[in-house]
């Protein structure tokens, strides 16, 4: 049944694509603007590669070790012009096997966007006892990952808020990075982004080069403040845990046109919810991934 359903979905997508391209060709041949032609052609290219109900297989084409327990995994999409089809701030479910050979499914947020065609990437921190961590640790280039999606409650429209505050801990940076990148790379979106990113040591900071790149490329719109529990000497960022004072200094003040996003380990999420409430941020001003 799964095979038949998958075939029906694929046939439906092909029929829809043919209709879209035919419509685009008609618009172009009838001397409509080239903008219309390219717009409808883009719709064809933007048919997503994932299914919210059924797992699909994606080939690992590159595995880059970033540290002793962090790696970046690049998976190929069906064609060089395919997109993943993941809305901003949502995630995918990945299926693998743990060290006992038992199936495990876990959510992950790609660090790539649909402007990155032909592939998607996951930055994974692999924990010694993590069940899905074992699967990623054992993966080799050429292996396949089972993925379905999109999943998630977060929905974003450009310009819906004046500013985002972001409180991230550890691997909780991935949805924040995805949202920040989507906002900043959209020239029509003027939303400000204020990120506080907490870790234990400097080596635990994921995507630091990419985050610093956003700060360099968008100095008036993106601001990052790193917090470490065990900082090195001559550290200029925050020390300890994220405090109310840090939030007051580095996040937008409570207002109807701002939102603070949270993603980190459960104890951090609980502590941040308490800090935000004490500072006057209503539940409508907060979202936890």
Among residues 40, 94, 108, 281, the one annotated as catalytic is 108
Say whether 79 is catalytic: no
27 CB neighbour count, 10 Å cutoff: 17
Query: Which residues share a beta bridge with 286?
Result: 260
Say whether 91 is catalytic: yes
What tens digit of pLDDT does each residue of 96-134 get? Answer: 999 999 999 999 999 999 999 999 999 999 999 999 999
pTM over 0.85? The answer is no
The percent of residues in the chain predicted with pLDDT above 90, rounded, is 82
3-state secondary structure of 8: helix
Say whether 251 is catalytic: no
DSSP 202: G
Half-sphere exposure of 275 (CA within 13 A, CB side): 19
Strand 103-108 to 91-97 pairing: antiparallel
Say whether 108 is catalytic: yes
Q: Could you tell me how far CA 105 lies from the centroid of its own chain? A: 18
Q: How far apart are CA 176 and CA 41, in angstroms?
A: 30
Binding residues for FAD: 107-108, 123, 125, 132-133, 174
What tens digit of pLDDT does each residue of 213-255 get? Answer: 999 999 999 999 999 999 999 999 999 999 999 999 999 999 9
Query: Which residues share a beta bridge with 62?
Result: 74
Q: What angle do CA 243, 245, 250 make, to 5 degrees?
A: 100
């Amino acid at each position: 049944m799964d095979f038949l359903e998958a075939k029906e979905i694929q046939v439906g997508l092909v029929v829809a694509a043919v209709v879209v391209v035919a419509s685009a060709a008609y618009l172009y041949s009838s001397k409509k603007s080239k903008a219309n032609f390219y717009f409808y052609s883009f719709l064809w290219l933007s048919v997503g590669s994932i299914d919210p109900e059924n797992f699909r297989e994606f080939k690992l084409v590159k595995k880059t070790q970033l540290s002793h327990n962090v790696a970046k995994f690049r998976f190929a999409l069906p064609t060089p012009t395919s997109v993943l089809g993941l809305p901003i701030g949502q995630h995918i479910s990945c299926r693998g096997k743990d060290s006992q050979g038992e199936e495990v499914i876990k959510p992950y947020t790609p660090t790539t966007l649909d402007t990155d065609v032909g592939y998607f990437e996951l930055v994974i921190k692999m924990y010694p006892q993590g069940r899905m961590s074992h699967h990623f640790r054992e993966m080799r280039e050429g292996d396949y990952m089972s993925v379905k999606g999109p999943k998630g409650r977060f929905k974003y429209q450009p310009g819906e808020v004046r500013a985002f505050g972001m409180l991230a801990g550890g691997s909780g940076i991935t949805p924040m990075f995805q949202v920040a990148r989507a906002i900043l790379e959209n020239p029509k979106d003027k939303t400000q982004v204020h990120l506080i990113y907490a870790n234990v040591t400097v080596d635990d900071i994921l995507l630091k080069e990419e985050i610093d790149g956003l700060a360099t490329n968008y100095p008036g719109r993106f601001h990052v403040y790193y917090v470490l529990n065990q900082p090195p000497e001559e550290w200029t960022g925050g020390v300890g845990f994220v405090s109310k004072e840090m939030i007051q200094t580095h996040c937008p003040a409570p207002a109807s046109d701002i939102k603070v996003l949270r993603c980190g380990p459960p104890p951090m999420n609980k502590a941040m919810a308490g800090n935000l409430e004490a500072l006057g941020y209503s539940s409508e001003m907060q979202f936890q991934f």
